[in-house]
Homo-oligomer: A and B are copies of this chain.
Amino acid sequence: MAEKNKTKIPYEKVDTQYYSQWYNKVIEEADLTDKRYPVKGMNIWKPYGWKLMQNIDSRTRKHMVNTDHEEVKFPLLIPEDEFQKEADHIKGFDDEVYWVTRAGRNELDIPLLLRPTSETAMYPVFDLWIRSHADLPLKIFQMVNVFRYETKQTRAFTRMREIHFFEAHTCHETGEEAEEQIKQDLEIMEKLSKKLCLPNLELKRTEWDKFPGAEYTVGVDSLLPTGRLLQIAGIHQYKTNFAEAYDIMFEDIEGEHKYVHQTTYGMSARLVGAIVGIHGDEKGVILPPAIAPIQVRIIPITYGDKQNDILEYCQKIKEKLESSDIRTDIDDREDVRPGSKFYDSERKGIPLRIDIGSNELEDKTLTLVRRDTSDKKEYQFDELIDKVKHEIKDMEQSLFENAEEFLQENIVDADEISEIDENKIYRIGWCGNRGCGEEIEETTDRHILGTLYDGEQYNGECIICGNEEAEAAYLCKKE
Contacts and interface: CB of A to CB of B under 8 A. Distances in A.
A97 B104 contact: yes
Contacts of A37: 74-75, 121, 125
Contacts of A151: 104
A124 B39 CA distance: 12
A76 B124 contact: no
A10 to B, nearest CB: 34
A375 interface: no
A342 interface: no
A28 to B, nearest CB: 12
Interface string A103-126: 111100001101000000100110
Given A38-B79, A73-B44, A97 B103 contact: yes
A44 B100 contact: no
Interface stretch (A46-54, A410-418, A425-433): A46-54
A245 to B, nearest CB: 15
Contacts of A34: 125, 128
Contacts of A102: 98-99, 101, 111
A282 interface: no
A72 B44 contact: yes
A101 B104 contact: no
Contacts of A128: 34, 36
A47 B103 contact: no
A71 B51 contact: yes
A42 interface: yes
A375 to B, nearest CB: 32
B103 A44 contact: no
A104 B112 contact: no
Contacts of A71: 47, 50-51, 54
Contact of A72 (B46, B78, B100): B46
A385 interface: no
What copy number does this chain have within its complex? 2
A70 interface: yes
A46 B128 CA distance: 13
Nearest to A42: B75
B124 A38 contact: yes
A164 B121 CA distance: 18
Contacts of A125: 34, 36-37, 44
A162 interface: yes
A98 B112 CA distance: 10
A76 B145 contact: yes
A323 to B, nearest CB: 17
A177 interface: no
Contacts of A98: 77, 100, 102-103, 112
A47 B72 contact: yes
A295 interface: no
B140 A39 contact: no
Most chain B beta-carbon contacts within 10 A, residue among A39, A82, A125: A39
Nearest to A134: B335
A200 interface: no
A103 B140 contact: no
Nearest to A36: B128
A96 interface: yes
A170 to B, nearest CB: 14
The 9 closest A-B pairs by CB, nearest first: A47-B70, A42-B75, A45-B73, A99-B102, A103-B149, A95-B104, A104-B149, A101-B101, A98-B103
17 contacts: A37-B75, A37-B121, A39-B75, A42-B75, A42-B77, A44-B73, A44-B75, A47-B72, A50-B71, A73-B164, A76-B145, A97-B103, A97-B104, A98-B100, A99-B102, A99-B103, A100-B101
Given A37-B74, A94-B104, 14 more contacts: A39-B78, A42-B75, A45-B73, A45-B74, A50-B71, A50-B73, A51-B71, A54-B71, A73-B164, A76-B145, A76-B162, A77-B98, A97-B103, A102-B111
